[in-house]
Each structure stands twice: as C-alpha cells, then as structure tokens.
Structure 1
C-alpha cells in the first residue's frame, strides 16, 4: 500500500486488494476520518468524496499495522463489548466477542439473587466486571489483576463509564481478602467467581499470530492449565 487513495471507495478497494478484511478496513477508514466506527452507511453515501490527504495517510499507516497483525481495537483505541465502549491498548487483551457469552451465562446464574457479590479474576480491560456491573447495578463487583498496567486500563474504563467496580492488584486469589487500612473491606465469600483466564500452551504455535497482545494473558504453562488449576484449587474456599 504505497499509493495514497483519493476517495473512500479507492481506499477500501486498495485495502481489500492488500488482504485486509472489509469490516476492518471500514472501521479504520472511519477512524481516520474522525467519524463514529459504526457509521458505515456514511461510507456508502460518500464513497466518491475526495479523501483528505491527512486521512489517507492515517488510513494507509493503520492498514499496514493491521496487516502486520495488530488488533483493530488497539489501532482505534476501543472495543465494543456487551453494549459498552471500552478503551483498550496493548496493556490488555483485546476482549473477544465470545467472552460476551460468559457474561450472559453469569447473568443467568445471578438471576433471582438480590445484591450479589461477584469477583472477576484476571480482569484485564475490566470487560467482564464492567458488563456485569452495568447489567446488575445492585451487585457488588470486585475485580483482580496481577498487572498494574491492566488495572490502570480497567479503572480508567470504570471511571469513564461511571461504574463502581472495586479493583485490586493481585494474583488470582492469593492473599484474599487483604487487610488494607482505610480501604473498602474485601468480602471473603462471593456469590460468584468469574474468570476468563489464560488457557493456551506456552509452546502453542498459534501464539506467533498474537505477539501484539500480552503473553501473560494468553499462555499458561506447559499444558495451558496452570492458571485454571490454581483458580479451581482456591475458589471453593471463597464461594
């Protein structure tokens, strides 16, 4: 992609010819134009409009990064998840649409419970915890992550969305609950513990295509089950 496109139609055609998914190209073009990422109808109505040089340059640069494997969510800085717009970057895993199924299942399990307590382990961007808090404002939702960088992203999302999820730096359930002076008391028992932990073998060849995302959020030991074993081993004492 060395030639700068002059119209939206040419930009999308060039991206497709380079091997980019059409939906990805549309989102990147809208982002380059400063428009809402869901406004694809605008592209159809204005596909012959002259593309500003600055937008064409931004679009070309983003397409090259996407072709190199960088997630679209990182390129545009956000991901739609269960009705929420989350800010994401390379400090956290790009939330997958399949994870919304986990949120739906959790909501089904919590149905009928009043003011449930929920703990999200390995929260990353905060996607699961924030979606549950959004759908169940009566719940007390806690979220843990071993990465301070990830917690900064999650806390930023919570503040921007106005959702009162409580965050804590920690490795799964180790040291829970912690006595922190002046902090909100941490419950020792929960109605639900939810997690989407790493589950890929450390030597899995598919990891080569995921180098832009944090490895600790993807791989878990020789068989991919180290973190799941730890969670299962400690969760019963907190349910």
Structure 2
C-alpha cells in the first residue's frame, strides 16, 4: 500500500492484500484479508461483500495497514484479531497462550463422554483456559479446577472464564504442585509435546510467536507425559480417569506410560478428524 493519498475502496484493498500476503507465504491470503478488513471496518463478511465500493477512511486504512503488516511478518491471525473460536465459544488469545486448536476439541468430547458421576475435574496446563472453560460449560454441575505455571496465561484464562460465563478455579504452579493431598474424579491435559529438535521445523507462525513453554516437550516430546502419568494416580479418586492429548505418532508410547503409572483399566485412544490418534486415556482401578 503506497503512502499516496489515493482512493482505497474495499474491493481494491482486498485484491492488493491478497497478492501481498500470498507473496509472504500466507496460505489463505484472500480469506485472511477479509477477516482483517472485517475487524478494521467492524463489519461481518456479508457486510463486507455488500460494501465493495466503500472507500476506507484514513483511520480505517491505518488500522488495516497495521494488521496486514503484522500478518506479513507471519504473526498468527488469531493474535492480530485477538480471538479464536473453540467448541462454539469465543476465546481471547494473546502471545502468552497457545492458540486453541480444533483437534483439542476431541479431548473435551472424550472427557464429557466419561464424566458420569464426576464431581471434580482438573485441567493441567490450562493456557487460554479453553479446555477447562468448555468443560465447565458442558458440565455445569462439576467443579472444574485448572493450573498453569504462567501468571500471564492465567490472566488470559480468567478473562475467558468471565467472558464465557463459567466458574473455574485457577491455580498457579507446575503440574500437581498446588494440589497436595487433593483428589479429582478426572484429570485432563494438553501438555507441551513437540520434541525439542522439531521446534525449528514448525510453521513460522508457531515457532516465531507462540509460547515455547507450551510447545517444548523435551528431547522426545514425552517429558510431561512421564511426569503426569507417574503422579496422576495419587490425585485421582478410585475409578478416576486420566485423559491426555498427544502428538501424531505418540499414542502407543503414552499409553505404555499410563499402564506403567497404574492406569490398567479401560485404556483407549481416540482419533481426531484427520484420523490421527489425538487423545489417550486410562482409568485407575
């Protein structure tokens, strides 16, 4: 976009942005251009289509240019717009938290399936709070607790709980640290699971902007699973469930860790929509 005072209407600037973002390697340049322009103009996409000949004001153009520049540097669109949908709910996201993925909805669905009789659930590594908040929404009579080591992430999660009208008990600490002597009917977690050596191969949007602490699972990606599987039975009631999201190809090893940790009953794995084993779980005797 030049600095000359030329007229930029909606259609003209969308076409320009599509080409610019495509050059920068953005996968869906036209669609993302539309989403950012919707934000700048406070319109939905239907409104955008009905206003193709609308000229942008100086302030609208400045706001849009800023967003496009950030996206051109491959900053995730969700951080630019400040939100992401998950399980039909709207979540605020900032660079303090991992952007919720729709793959993680499988973890919530499997937890809800196994929630009969549960009075309490613990979500480990809550990040944006998407899993805990979705569970609190689906299971309003269940006490949902969550923990994260990051104070900044917890601030985002608390804001999201308030925004979505649910009560979640948030604690700061590592894994089970704040819950000495406490037992739950179910524990769920989407822990960091990317092998450290693979981080450099991730999309620029991920490796350059999302929090490393929410991605790095150690040398083989399994560090957090080892810690959780070793301790979880001490924090579950009899017959309690442990459910974990896993990375592609990790399900067999994580299931072995669960069995070694005493989860000998009803172990399972469940696929995501892409056919990848995405959630594993087991039950204490």
TM bin, normalised by shorter chain, reads 0.7 to 0.9
The one of 213, 216, 222 equivalent to 2:213 is 216
Per the normalisation by structure 1, the TM-score is: 0.88
Aligned position for 1:226: 223
For residue 170 of structure 2, give the secondary structure of its aligned residue in structure 1: strand
Q: Distance in 2 between matches of 1:219 and 1:108?
A: 29
1:197 counterpart = 2:191: yes
One of 66, 69, 73 as aligned partner of 1:64: 69
Q: Which residue of 2 aligns with 1:130?
A: 133
1:53 to 54, 58, 75: 58
Q: Secondary structure at the residue paired with 2:177?
A: coil
What root-mean-square deviation, in Å, do the aligned CA atoms of Structure 1 and Structure 2 show? 1.8
List, as ranges, runs of 4+ consecutive aligned residues in structure 1 with deviation greater than 6 Å: none
Shift of residue 175, structure 1, vs aligned partner: 4.8
Deviations 1:90-141 (A, max 9, x none): 111111121122212211222xx24531110000010000001011111100
CA distance in structure 1 between the aligned counterparts of 2:126 and 2:143, rounded to whole angstroms: 15
Paired with 1:5 and 1:14, the residues of 2 have a C-alpha distance of 13
Gaps of 5+ in 1: 179-187
TM-score by length of 2: 0.74
Report the equivalent of 2:245.
none
Is residue 151 of structure 1 aligned with residue 148 of structure 2? no
CA distance in 2, matches of 1:219, 1:2: 41
Range with bigger deviation, 119-128 or 98-107: 98-107
Structure 2 counterpart of 1:99, from 91, 98, 104: 104
Q: Which residue of 1 aligns with 2:250?
A: none
Contact 1:115 1:138 in 2 (8 A): no
CA distance in 1, matches of 2:18, 2:106: 30
Matched, 1:142 2:145: yes
Q: Matched residue of 2:197: which SS?
A: coil
Q: Is the 8 A contact 1:5 1:14 kept in 2?
A: no
**What is the aligned partner in structure 2 of residue 82 from structure 1?**
87
Unaligned runs of 5+ in 2: 237-285
CA distance in 2, matches of 1:153, 1:161: 12
Q: Is the 8 A contact 1:124 1:151 kept in 2?
A: yes
Which residue of structure 2 aligns with residue 6 of structure 1? 8
Q: What is the alpha-carbon distance in structure 1 between the residues aligned to residue 70 and residue 159 of structure 2?
A: 25
SS at match of 1:200: coil
Count of residue correspondences: 225
Q: Is the 8 A contact 2:118 2:185 kept in 1?
A: no
Q: Write out per-residue CA displacement over residues 168-219 of structure 1, whole angstroms, 9 at most, x where no aligned residue.
A: 00101135237xxxxxxxxx22221111111111121224622111100011
Q: Give the structure with the higher percent strand.
A: 2
Pick from 201, 224, 228 the counterpart of residue 206 of structure 1.
201
